[in-house]
Amino acid sequence: MAVRVLPYRGFNAGGIRRPRSNQTNGTRIEVHAQMQIGTGVTKFVAAALGVVAATGLTAADASAQVRPWEDYGYVGINYMYQQRDRAFTESLSETIFEETATSTISHASGGGGGFDIGGAVRVWENLGVGVAVTSYNTKSGAAVSATIPHPLFFNRPRSAALNVSNLEYKEVGVHLQGVWVMPVTEQITVAVSGGPSIFRVDQDLISTVTSSEIGAPFDAVTIAATSTTASESAVGGHVGADVQYWVNERYGGGIFLRYAAGSVDLPTAGGAQSIDVGGFQIGIGLRAKF
């Protein structure tokens, strides 16, 4: 293998490049990102679906006709869980030692908890219009795989890997709703809704990957990463249902199910990256009608 010989500074008398002591001041990150949905969330979802199914059977037995909706409207506040697995890849490159260093970053994130607040007002018979606002965030991990040129020899790149787990994904959704409200009994009301959704996403991305030499014989190298937050908005849609149980004429509780979907193009260092937003949402909370 040929030894690199260059006719300018940075070489000793033998023509061999002096190693650089430290390419960056970045701190090496060696953390492992492990994201999973806990069994508690799974039990909560199963229990909530059971309640919705039981309520639907009760509603079918209670009345074969839809009762008129006589209230002006209702509001609700919920704790919710949103499930959506996301995975995408971005690439970075730069010139080091007169050769190209490349980094491939694989992002992955799952579901998370958040809050939902919304309501609707009656506009005609059982038809209403409303809005719901959801907000949730979750941890986002990134696996970085890099190839770094050798400081002494051409065409002998070194490989390095890094796991980053301190990234974050945030999402706010505004769901504009047409609502059909069906009072089933004096205590049970079912509201079916759908319409457009507006999403605002903040996603942490890897902005730079830097390398540091360990020392002779320079066969190994460490890497560090810095992150930045990319923000973008998009329009999608949703459908859902809200099962409400009223303990008196004004106050009660409820369980809602919703599926919201959309796609945003995030500006990354390697170019625009499209990711899915929204997901399956389930929540439970308080209700008030007026």
**pLDDT 10s digits, 38-83:** 444 444 444 444 444 444 444 444 444 678 999 999 999 999 999 9
The answer to whether residue 33 sits within a structural domain is: no
Whether 91 and 104 have beta carbons less than 8 Å apart is answered as: yes
Specify burial of residue 237 (Cβ count, 10 A radius: 0-12, 13-18, 19+). Answer: middle
Paired residues of 266 in beta bridges:
273
The answer to whether residue 30 sits within a structural domain is: no
| Enclosing domain of residue 274 | 39-289
**CA 247 – CA 225 distance, rounded (Å):** 54
Token representation of residue 234: 């998009």
- How far is residue 211 from each of residues 42, 68, 172, 221, measured CA to CA in Å? 42, 68, 36, 7
The answer to whether residue 250 sits within a structural domain is: yes
The answer to whether residue 111 sits within a structural domain is: yes
pLDDT for the residue numbered 23: 39
**CA 206 – CA 209 distance, rounded (Å):** 8
The answer to whether residue 17 sits within a structural domain is: no
Torsion of Cα atoms, 58 then 63 then 67 then 71, to 10°: -30
Beta-carbon contacts of 69 under 8 Å, excluding residues fewer than 6 positions away, are: 122, 125, 126, 128, 181, 182, 183, 189
Say which CATH number the domain at 135 has: 2.40.160.20
The answer to whether residue 22 sits within a structural domain is: no
Q: Read off the pLDDT of residues 182-198 as tens digits, 9 standing for 90 and up.
A: 999 999 999 999 999 99
- How far is residue 53 from each of residues 57, 60, 143, 284, measured CA to CA in Å? 6, 11, 41, 15
The answer to whether residue 76 sits within a structural domain is: yes
Number of domains into which the chain is organized: 1
Identity at 268, one-letter amino acid code:
T
The answer to whether residue 13 sits within a structural domain is: no
Beta-carbon contacts of 259 under 8 Å, excluding residues fewer than 6 positions away, are: 238, 239, 240, 278, 279, 280, 281
pLDDT for the residue numbered 65: 64
Alpha carbon 224 to chain centroid, angstroms: 23
pLDDT tens for the chain, residues 1 to 290: 444 444 434 434 443 444 443 333 333 333 333 333 344 444 444 444 444 444 444 444 444 467 899 999 999 999 999 998 888 888 899 999 989 999 999 998 888 999 999 999 999 999 999 999 999 999 888 999 999 999 989 999 999 999 998 899 999 999 999 999 999 999 999 999 999 999 999 999 998 899 998 888 898 899 999 998 999 999 999 999 999 999 999 999 999 999 999 999 988 776 788 889 999 999 999 999 99
